Structures are given as structure tokens and as C-alpha cells.
Chains A and B, each alone.
Chain A
Amino acid sequence: MYAFDFVRPKTVAEAVKALAAEDAQALGGGQTLIPTLKQRLAAPAVLVSLSGIAEMSGVSLSGGTLTIGGGTPHATVAKEARAAYPALAALAGGIGDPAVRSRGTIGGSLANNDPSACYPAAVLGSGATIVTDRREIAADDYFQGMFATALEPGEIITAVRFPVPEKAHYEKFAQPASRFALVGVFVARTGQGARVAVTGASADGVFRWAEAEKALSGGFSAAALAGLAPPTGDMISDLHGSAEYRAHLVKVLTGRAVAAA
């Protein structure tokens, strides 16, 4: 690791200020950033840890909306969202392993937007809203391709607001080494119809599978998907699976997710 200064502000306002410094970078749970720093693939001058900011942590339900603080670790979501939004809690409880879930945060996951990460599927699949220190961003506007998001430099995800759907489920097929999603599909039935968000499969990152949404909005059952061709588009092809295999998995997992929702 290259050397850097370390600051641990207590409030979002202090953090925003600290992040204004040149080459400052936010640190969430560090579960992605620290391995990256070890490889010397990043060289921040200042790391601004968000772990001391109490206002950014926690899970709360109000009306039909579940709000999760941007600094909330996966383990907390797995536990505290279980009653209000079981599909989301299960997704959080299936990220990495217990030690990763103790530290890794929803804000960090979404800021990073790994094309194989789980949370992006839930956020897009639920039609959630990303709340930052300066604005609110709809999920549909937030994800902009592999590792790319609508965030501006220094912008902090302070919370994510999930409208709780009628039914939902996340089906993950793990990449055997990293245990991220080789393909993951999040389906939700909402008042406005069905949403299907797919992670792991596309080189453009998480995406909504429009044809499946359409089919499911007519009737939310696995049978409704039967006639669909697997999605096309820029599928990832690597040693863990060809583009064709990934596309096939998207369809299989969507069916399983709907059946399990």
C-alpha cells in the first residue's frame, strides 16, 4: 500500500469537507478498497473513514419504505431488515462471508458497482432511491455501467430508500472462486408491475431485463417466462462461463426467483 493520511469524521458534513481535499477517498467497510490498496491499484492521499458516522448507520421502516443508512454493514441489514423486507435481508446475508458482512457496507457496494455485486440487483430491482449528501438519485439513473455510477467525486451515499415490494426474491449463482454472483437475479412484484434486475451477467453491469418484466407483469409466475429467449446484450465471457452460459443462467435464475418469491 502507498502511504496515506487517515481521518475518521463523526458527521456527514465533516466527511464531505474532508473529501474535498485533493486525492481524498471515502472508506466504507474496506472490503473492496483495502484489497485494491494492497495491490497498489489506488493511491489516495487521504482516506476518509465513514465508520464513525452514527447518522449513516441503521435500518428503519416508515410507511412502505425501508431506509438503510449508507454505512450500514451487510450483517446488520441481514438481521434488521428480515421482518420488513426478507428478500433484501436474505440478499445481504448471502454476500461474501460473515466477516465480510461484519464490515462491508451498502454504500460501499453501491459506490463501487462491481458488475458481479449483489446489492445493485436489489436496488435496481426494487426501484430504490440512493440518497447522498447532496441529492437523491433514482436507481434507474444511478448505475452507469461496470464500476460506473452517477456519483460525483466526493459524493457520499448516506442512505438507500427501498419501497418494499409485494413479493421479491434474489437468486444467486455464485462464481466458484470469489463467490460473488456469476449471475444474480432479483425479481420484485410491485404495485406498478414486475421488476427484474440482473447482476453478474453483463459487461454493462446490472441491468433490467425488460422482456421478462413485461412477461411477469402479465402474471407473476415462472410459467410466464417459458417462451422467452435468454437476454442478449453484452454478456460477460470469462473462465467461469461463456456469454451464452450466462445468458442461459439469467433465464433459469429468473424462473427460480419468481417461483421462490
Chain B
Amino acid sequence: MPKVAMRVNGRAVSGEVEGRTLLVQFLREGLGMTGTHVGCDTSQCGACVVHVNGVPVKSCTAFALDLDGAEITTIEGMANADGSLGRVQQAFQDHHGLQCGFCTPGMVMSAAALLAENPTPSEAEIRTYLEGNICRCTGYHNIVKAVLAASGQDPATIAAE
């Protein structure tokens, strides 16, 4: 079987995979990192979003072998060095931006990607950017608040119209 090597959350990893092994399978089954979730089979839900070389990617829609040598960040790599929640994660807890937690890893990764691109997004920009992340629990209200807060903006500004 072919071999793949990449860096995941700063750690060099490698393993044997098949041609058809998806990045998410390599993470979950190969590396035992089950923080990244699979919520669909049509690339729509975003539960599986990770960062590949700094940009958001649906790990269910990328082959591990295609990412040989890539730098991957997953939800498990978002905490601070001391193990406490990172900025975006903490904002999600502070603003009740999650309920069942299933969409959460993908949401946090997408939100972090947005903030890397656009440090102070507007509410509309946040909502548009999260287009590919479905949450069935929260109605998005508190997710948007959390992202606003993580960007240092006042989450109370979220409002109708």
C-alpha cells in the first residue's frame, strides 16, 4: 500500500493508505483523531472541515494521498499550548455556540479560517462564510455571536435586519 506523510497539528505523521482513503478516514481511523466528524456524503455539511496549508478544506472530499506533505490543522490542534481552549473555541463556549457538538469541530475550523482571512468580519460576512457548515441545533444565532466575539467585536450587535 502507498505511504503518505504529512504534518498534523505540528506533528509529523505517516501511514499506509489506499488510493481511496480520504483525509478524514486517515485522521479518524489511521491516526485515531476522532474530533473531525463526518455528517454527510455529498460534501455539504462541513462537519469535517480542517485546515490544509492554512485554508479550510472538507476532509471528506480530499484524498490523503493528494495531501502528501501538507500541513494539516484539526480541531485537536486548536487549543492553547497549556491545553486551555483557544480563542475561537473559548468564544463558542462563552456564547453557547454549540449544543450537540457534532457540527462544532467544522464550525470552529471554518470560523478560524474566516478570522485568519478577515480579522473583523461583519455579521453578514460571517453568515455567508459559514455557508458550507450546517448546524441543526443552534439556529446559528450563538455561533455568529461567538465568531463576532472571537474577533474582538461586540456580540450584542447581532440583530434582526
Contact = CB atoms under 8 A, between A and B. Distances in A.
Contacts of A98: 55-56, 110, 113-114, 129, 131-132
A167 interface: no
Contact of A6 (B2, B41, B52): B2
B62 A97 contact: no
Given A39-B41, A49-B66, A97 B19 contact: no
B103 interface: no
B136 interface: no
A100 B43 contact: yes
A201 B17 CA distance: 42
Interface stretch (A26-34, A81-89, A209-217): A26-34
Nearest to A177: B44
A228 interface: no
Contacts of A27: 63, 66
Interface string B38-73: 000111101001001001111011110110100000
Interface residues of B, number: 31
A2 B20 CA distance: 8
Interface size class of A (residues with CB under 8 A): 20 to 34
A31 B66 CA distance: 13
B113 A6 contact: no
B41 A35 contact: yes
Given A6-B19, A35-B41, A30 B66 contact: yes
A34 B129 contact: no
A147 interface: no
A118 B64 CA distance: 28
A61 to B, nearest CB: 23
A38 B63 CA distance: 12
Interface in A5-49: 5-6, 8, 27, 30-31, 34-35, 37-39, 47, 49
A210 B46 CA distance: 40
B66 A99 contact: no
B19 A51 contact: no
Contacts of B65: 6, 8, 49
The 4 A-B pairs at the shortest CB distance, nearest first, are namely A97-B132, A6-B19, A97-B131, A1-B20
Interface of A: 1-6, 8, 27, 30-31, 34-35, 37-39, 47, 49, 51, 75, 96-100, 102-103, 178-179
Given A99-B56, A100-B43, A102-B55, 20 more contacts: A1-B20, A3-B20, A4-B20, A6-B19, A6-B63, A8-B68, A30-B66, A31-B61, A34-B22, A34-B43, A35-B41, A96-B132, A97-B131, A97-B132, A98-B131, A98-B132, A99-B46, A99-B61, A99-B132, A178-B44
